[in-house]
Structures are given as C-alpha cells and as structure tokens.
Structure 1
Amino acid sequence: MELNCVVVDDDELDRLMVLSCLRNYPEIRVLEVFSSPVEALEFLDLNPVDILFLDIDMPEMSGIELRKRIPQTAICVFITSYPEHAVESFELEALDFLVKPLKADRFKSTIARIHDYLEIRQKVALFESSLGGDTIIVKEGHTQTKIKLHAVCYLQAMKDYTLIFTTDKRHCVLSSLGNLLKKAEFQSFVRVHRSYAVNPIYIERVSSNEVILKDEQSVPLGRGYKEIIQSILL
C-alpha cells in the first residue's frame, strides 16, 4: 500500500535527516516538506495525508497544537529533542515518539509499527460489529454507519477501498473488493467485472457489455464474467 506523508520541522538539517531515513521506504511518498507549521496547516486542511512526521518545538505554532488542529490525520509520529513531551504527544494518540538525533534502527521500528497498525486497522475497519439479520455496521473513517444489506445494489473496487452503493447513498470502506466478497454477508453478491460485484436482486437485464440494475443504474460487464451472470438469469 502506498502511503502519503508530510514532514514538518523548522530545522533544515532535521528535515533532511527525516527525508534521508524515508528514502529507505519507497512505499511512503513524501507529498510536501514544511519549515512552517502554519503553511503545513493550510496544506493539510485541503490535503489529508496518511502520516505526519512532526517536530514539536517550532515557532508560530507547536507541533502538538498543529496536531490538535488536524485530527483527521490517521497516523502521527512526533520527532523532538525533548523527551519530556512524550506524555502529551501520546495523549493525542500519536503512534510513535522519536528523539533527535534520529537513528536508523529506531526509525525502522517506527515504520514497522506503522505497517502493523495499518494491518490491524484494515482487519477491523470494515466490520466493527454485526447486528445480525440484514443489518451490518461499517466504519468510514471515524464514523460507524448502519447499512441494510438488502439496500446494497452493487460494490465497486477502488484499489484498497471498496465503494458500497445502496439505493440512496454511497459508502467507502477500507477493504479490497476481493476480501469483502469473502465475508459471509456478501457471499450472495455476483462479480460481473474485475472492479464490480452486484446484488442479484437488483438485476433487471444484461446487455453485451453492461448489467442494468433497477432505476436504470448500470455497471460494466467483463468478458470473462458473462457466463456467470447468464447462468444466474436462467
């Protein structure tokens, strides 16, 4: 999984050190590097990222204050010369706390912790709990949403995410389409394309390259899936 990050530190040498460490992890893409937390805040208000590597002691605004103002950032790693800030940083749910000067082995542990966290989050993000019957709970970011399975028309793959289209709304969950279809709740859904699966009860008709659903919604029909969908309609 490719991850986007932003580095914020008012010291040029420290910024270069973080960038040097990150070069060893090609899956982490540096979107921007800021010396000013104010400029970083302006960017982050419009561009959510996966990871923040954030200095604490900076002019204009501390890293801790910056973190408080961008709670949508999923992962935050504080980097500072002052270990006494550790308690306050973890109160903000920081994933890790690095003390300058950075050491390669310690930074490697931080990256491993990030990957472990994301793996666990992916396993639990989709289904927080099941209500039984026809209702499930999915987690979108920090919000839990109830969805009636009978109202789900189709699913669309978006890399590591899946869009769930109901009769009146769209939901985005952190799970691949393939993993989602392995869930017991979605085993009745039929894959009609590499990136689409449909709820059979909503199928109205099938053309040469589309599956037309109720309300004239349509999804593409992949060549290799035509026999499967035709067998269902028989």
Structure 2
Amino acid sequence: MKLRCIIIDDEYLARQRLLKLVKPYDEINVIAECKNGAEAIEKIHLKEPDIIFLDIQMPDMNGFEVLTKLKVHPYIIFTTAYDSYAIKAFEVNAVDYLLKPFDEDRIRIALDRAFALKKEKKEAHIEGRIKKLMQAYEAKTSEFLSQFSIQNKGRETTIFIDDIVYFKSDGNYVRIITDEKTYLYRKTIRSIHENINPEVFLRIHRSLILKKTYIQDTKYLGNNTYQFQLKNGELLTSSRTYKSEIAIYLSETRL
C-alpha cells in the first residue's frame, strides 16, 4: 500500500528535512514539493496525492486557506512551529499536527496513523463492494421461483426448488420430478422455464429442464445431441434446438 505524497513548505531546508525523514518508508512516494500555497493548490489538483505535509504559515496564504480551495481531499499532516493552530487543525480532520522541530519517531507516529486510515478506508470500500454484489445477487435470485405450490384433492403441497431433479412436459401439465416423488403441475414448461434460475437449471429439450447439480455425466451422441445421465441413473436425450445452451453449460463445467 503506497501513499502518494506532496510536501508543502515555504522553507527549502524544512522541505529537505521532511524528504530525509520519509525516505526510509517504501510506502511513501513523494511526487512533488511546493514552496507556497498557490503552487500547492495547482500540484494537488494535478497529481491528486493521498497525503500532504502542509506548513501553516506561508507568505501568500496559510495552510487552512489552501484547504478551502481544494477540490480533492488528501490526508493532511500539518507541520508548523506554532502550537496555537492545533485545535483548528483537528477541526479540519487532520491526520496529525507536527510541531517543528520534529524527529523520526514523531514522523513514524503520524505516518502510522495515515496508513491505518488508508487501510480502514480500503477495507470499508471492499466491504461496500461485497455488500453491493450480495444485494445485486439477492435481487437477481429473488426474481426466480424458490418453490411450487400444488393443489391436489383440496390439499396444498409445497415443492422446494432445491428438491427438484428435473421438469418434464406432459401435455397441458408439467411433471415435477424429485428424488422421492413425481408431481403433476398444471402449467406449461415454457412458463416454468421463464421463472426459474438459468444458473441452476438447464433446458436440453422443449420438454425437459434439468437441475445442473443432478447431472452425473454427459455423452455426445452426434448430430448436436447429447445424452445426460442423472445421479439417479436416468438417461435423458437433448434436442438440437438447445445445442447452444448445452455448449455453454459444458464449457462452464470444464473450467
């Protein structure tokens, strides 16, 4: 984790001392030095550093005035010979406030704080991305059916999607086959296909939709047709119409 850094101080020797103090840190990459506020604003907008060492007392404008003109928000470590600005410095969320002359230990404390903030921000960003992906996945999967309710002689039976091995068209009905039982459902196979998750099921024929996890083996029969062996031993044959979907499925299983 590298931090791009700009050193801002009107005194040449002060800038050189800071350069010497941060040189041992491989995580710090000094990308510019500035000798006044106007130059600092220009360089910060151009290079967009992660962190700046900012002197408060400068001839053209002070460090706080520089901050009011920034459109980006790097981490700020103030460097000054005056302790009277400390409270104001932390009001603008400065990482640290270094009183000149400061030494290696004081620089290390300030940089450790900056590294910790950077890590925290990165972790929060990753967590946010994961959360968004999970929300998108949940929103996507919630669009699909998770169960079927079948009325039979006045009684309702619920069949959960996880228990289904495959669907088979049977006239105006669809047979829902599970490991334990077959159910007759008054729906078209097309309507079922439109409402189940294509990442979970594979249509191999106009009358057959298989649960991918129940497929044991696949054998090419020629003429763009395949034989699917299920985990329960059944053999089902595809039609040429669904060769593209089957090709995609086979490429995924071979990754």
TM-score, normalisation: structure 2: 0.52
Post-superposition Cα deviations, 1:165-222, rounded to whole Å, max 9, x if no partner, equal xxxxxxxxxxxxxxxxxxxxxxxxxxxxxxxxxxxx999xxxxxxxxxxxxxxxxxxx
Q: Tell me the CA shift for residue 76 of structure 1.
A: 0.6
SS in 2 for 1:73: coil
- Tell me which residue corresponds to 2:27: 27
**Corresponding position: 1:230 with 2:252:** yes
Q: Tell me the CA shift for residue 125 of structure 1.
A: 2.5
Alpha-carbon distance change, 231 to 49 in structure 1, aligned in 2, over 3 angstroms: same
5+ residue gaps, structure 2: 141-196, 200-249
- Given that 1:83 and 1:99 are in contact with CA atoms closer than 8 Å, whether structure 2 keeps it comes out as yes
SS in 2 for 1:89: helix
The separation in 2 between residues aligned to 1:90 and 1:202, in whole angstroms, is 54
Q: Tell me the CA shift for residue 21 of structure 1.
A: 0.4
The separation in 2 between residues aligned to 1:66 and 1:38, in whole angstroms, is 8
- Tell me which residue corresponds to 1:70: 70
- Tell me which residue corresponds to 1:225: none
Q: Give the aligned residue type for 1:81.
A: A
SS in 2 for 1:53: strand
- Tell me which residue corresponds to 1:6: 6
The separation in 1 between residues aligned to 2:97 and 2:251, in whole angstroms, is 52
- Given that 1:52 and 1:73 are in contact with CA atoms closer than 8 Å, whether structure 2 keeps it comes out as no
Alpha-carbon distance change, 15 to 231 in structure 1, aligned in 2, over 3 angstroms: same
The separation in 2 between residues aligned to 1:98 and 1:229, in whole angstroms, is 60
- Given that 1:78 and 1:97 are in contact with CA atoms closer than 8 Å, whether structure 2 keeps it comes out as yes
Q: Tell me the CA shift for residue 13 of structure 1.
A: 1.2
Q: Tell me the CA shift for residue 126 of structure 1.
A: 3.4
- Tell me which residue corresponds to 1:60: 60
The separation in 1 between residues aligned to 2:31 and 2:21, in whole angstroms, is 15
- Given that 1:136 and 1:149 are in contact with CA atoms closer than 8 Å, whether structure 2 keeps it comes out as no
Post-superposition Cα deviations, 1:2-55, rounded to whole Å, max 9, x if no partner, equal 211000000111111111101111220110001121011112122211000000
- Given that 1:17 and 1:102 are in contact with CA atoms closer than 8 Å, whether structure 2 keeps it comes out as no
- Tell me which residue corresponds to 1:94: 94
* Equivalent residues, number: 149
5+ residue gaps, structure 1: 139-146, 153-200, 204-227
Q: Tell me the CA shift for residue 103 of structure 1.
A: 1.1
TM-score, normalisation: structure 1: 0.56
- Given that 1:7 and 1:34 are in contact with CA atoms closer than 8 Å, whether structure 2 keeps it comes out as yes
The separation in 2 between residues aligned to 1:202 and 1:87, in whole angstroms, is 59
- Given that 1:68 and 1:92 are in contact with CA atoms closer than 8 Å, whether structure 2 keeps it comes out as no
SS in 1 for 2:79: strand
The separation in 2 between residues aligned to 1:99 and 1:43, in whole angstroms, is 24
- Given that 1:38 and 1:60 are in contact with CA atoms closer than 8 Å, whether structure 2 keeps it comes out as yes
Q: Tell me the CA shift for residue 149 of structure 1.
A: 4.2
Q: Tell me the CA shift for residue 64 of structure 1.
A: 1.1
1:44-55 paired onto structure 2 within 5 Å: 44-55=44-55
Q: Give the aligned residue type for 2:73.
A: T
- Given that 2:45 and 2:71 are in contact with CA atoms closer than 8 Å, whether structure 1 keeps it comes out as no
Could you say which structure has the larger radius of gyration?
2
Alpha-carbon distance change, 137 to 86 in structure 1, aligned in 2, over 3 angstroms: farther
1:109-128 paired onto structure 2 within 5 Å: 109-127=109-127
Q: Tell me the CA shift for residue 68 of structure 1.
A: 2.3
- Given that 2:4 and 2:30 are in contact with CA atoms closer than 8 Å, whether structure 1 keeps it comes out as yes
- Tell me which residue corresponds to 2:108: 108
